Chain A
C-alpha cells in the first residue's frame, strides 16, 4: 500500500528547508511573546535577552524554559498572547497531577491542529472513505476534539462516540462500520476484552487501524491490542500545553513518532541541569511552539523522558522521530530512593504472560516504603497446584526486582477485580500521600 500523506511537501521536505522554516518561525514567535506576554518579556529581560538575540534555531538554547507551574501561576489567561476576543476555544488538562491548567486557541491554531491530526490519520492509511471512531473523551480534554477535527479536515466520517458505555461502543463498531479507532490504549484493551466476552469476532468488524495515546503504554500492549482487535495499533503523542494529540505521530513503520517540526521544535535536555543533550540520548523532551498564536509556549518542559531519533524513516517523512516516552516524571514514583515508572511494571507483566490489568500500591510501613503489585490471574498462569502458581509468582517478583532495582510483593487477584478505566487508567495508589508525610 502506498504511503499516504496529508501535506506531503512539508512532511517530506529536506532537513535544510525544515531548519530554515523553523528559524524564521521561531524568530517571529519570540517577537510575538516578547511583545504580548508580560511574564515572557520579563524573563527574557532578566536573562538579558531581546528578540534580536534569537536569529534562528541555534539560539533557542538561550531562552528560559516554560514549566507547568507557570501555567498555574498565571492561571487562567496570564500567558495568552492574544486578546480573548481572538480566542475561539479553551481546553484544560484533567488536573490529575495538580491544579488544572487552561489553554486557548485562535481559529488559526485550530486549523493547524486539524492539519496535524489529519497528518496522523493519513499516516495510518486513512482517507476520505474512512469512518473515524473517536472514543477519546469530548470536553475540556483535548483527545476527542483533536482527532475529531483531523477526521473532519481529512474529509473522513467522524463518529464522536466519546468515552464510556462500552456496550454501545461495540454496537457502533458493528453497525456504523468504524475503520479507525481513536482512544487511550487501556480503553482499547477494554473494548477488545468486551468483544471477546460478547463473542464478537473482531474479523467481522471493519476496523483496520487504531490511534492510541494520552497515557503510557508498551510494545507488548501494542501486540495484545493488535491481536484483540485485529488491527494495526499506532502511537500518538501530544499534550494540552503544546496543542493536544498529534504533536507527534506514528507512521506505517510503527517505529517512533514523527514530530511536526514545522509547528514545534523538539529538544532533549538533562532534566537535572537543563542542559541540551544530543539527539539520540535519553532525556527530558522539551517543545517550543512556533506557529501558535494564543499559547506559543517557549521551551516547554514536558517532564516526559524520551529519545529523539534523526535516522531517515522508510515512510519518506523527514521529520525527526521521538520514542514513546519511557516515563513521565509526574508518574514517576520514588520508592526507597529508586525511580520507578508504572510502565516498567507493565512491561514485565506482559512479558511474563500476565494481564496488563494491574494496580500498584505504595505505602510506608515502619518508615520503609513498600511496593505491592496486584495482578489479575488468568487461565494461562493458573494451575491446579500451588507449587506451579507460586513458582510463576516468584519468577515475576524476581523479574520485577531485576528491572526496578527494588523488590515488589505480587498479589494475584481475581479476574476483573481491578477497576477498568474509560479514560486514563489509574494505576497507582500512593498511600504515603494520605499520611501527609513527605514523599
Chain B
C-alpha cells in the first residue's frame, strides 16, 4: 500500500523554490505534505499533493525536473510515543529507511509519517500488525 510522492530538483539559488510553489499555487494544487532535503548546491523538494498528475504536468511544462516515487503514508494517533512505536516496528523488522518526514493532519487526533523504504507492502503489513494503518492514495485528500 503506497501513496504518490513528487520530488522536484531545486537549484540552490535565490528564487528557485518560490517559482515552484507559485506554479502549484496558480494551478490550485493543494500541498498535503512537504519536506526538503538539501545539499550545498541543490535540494530535493518532496511533495504529497491533492492532484499528482496535474502537478507533474504543470511542473514539467515549467521545465522543472521531477520524479515520482511510491512511499508509505502511516496514520498515527497524535500523541506522545506514536512515532516511537513506528520506529520500533521498522527497527525490529530490519527495515532500512531512506528518509522520512512527519506532519500533523487536518484533524487534531491524527499525525502522519511518510516513509521511503524498499518494500512498501512489507512495511505496511508490519505496521498493520501493530495496529498502525497506512493510507491509500484515495485517502490523501482526507489528510
Contacts and interface: CB of A to CB of B under 8 A. Distances in A.
Interface of A: 377-379, 382-387, 389-390, 411-417
A390 B98 CA distance: 14
Interface stretch (B59-67, B75-83, B100-108, B134-142): B59-67
Contacts of A387: 98
Interface of B: 5, 7, 9-11, 16, 37, 39, 41-42, 44, 46, 63-67, 69, 98-99, 116
A279 B137 CA distance: 67
A349 to B, nearest CB: 16
B67 A414 contact: no
Given A384-B5, A386-B44, A417 B67 contact: no
A386 B69 contact: no
A394 to B, nearest CB: 12
Contacts of A377: 9, 11, 42, 65
B109 to A, nearest CB: 29
B37 A413 contact: no
B11 A384 contact: no
15 contacts: A378-B65, A383-B67, A384-B7, A384-B67, A386-B39, A386-B44, A412-B9, A412-B42, A414-B10, A414-B11, A414-B16, A414-B65, A415-B63, A415-B64, A416-B63
Contacts of B66: 379, 382
B120 to A, nearest CB: 14
A415 B37 CA distance: 19
Chain A facing B: main interface SS:
loop
Contacts of B7: 382-384
Contacts, number: 51
Given A379-B67, A412-B41, 20 more contacts: A377-B9, A377-B65, A379-B65, A379-B66, A382-B7, A382-B9, A384-B7, A384-B67, A384-B69, A385-B37, A385-B98, A386-B37, A386-B39, A386-B44, A387-B98, A412-B9, A412-B11, A413-B11, A414-B9, A416-B63
Contacts of A415: 63-65
A347 B39 CA distance: 27
Contact of A382 (B5, B39, B67, B116): B67
A412 B46 CA distance: 18
Contacts of A383: 7, 67
A252 B7 CA distance: 45
Contacts of B5: 384
Contacts of A384: 5, 7, 44, 46, 67, 69, 116
Contacts of B46: 384
B128 to A, nearest CB: 25
B41 A411 contact: yes
Contacts of B10: 414
Nearest to A414: B11
Given A390-B39, A411-B41, A414-B16, A382 B11 contact: no
Contacts of B41: 411-412
A386 B11 CA distance: 13
A412 to B, nearest CB: 6
A387 B7 CA distance: 14
A379 B67 CA distance: 7
Contacts of B64: 415
Most chain A CB inside 10 Å of its own CB: which residue of B5, B16, B42, B67: B42
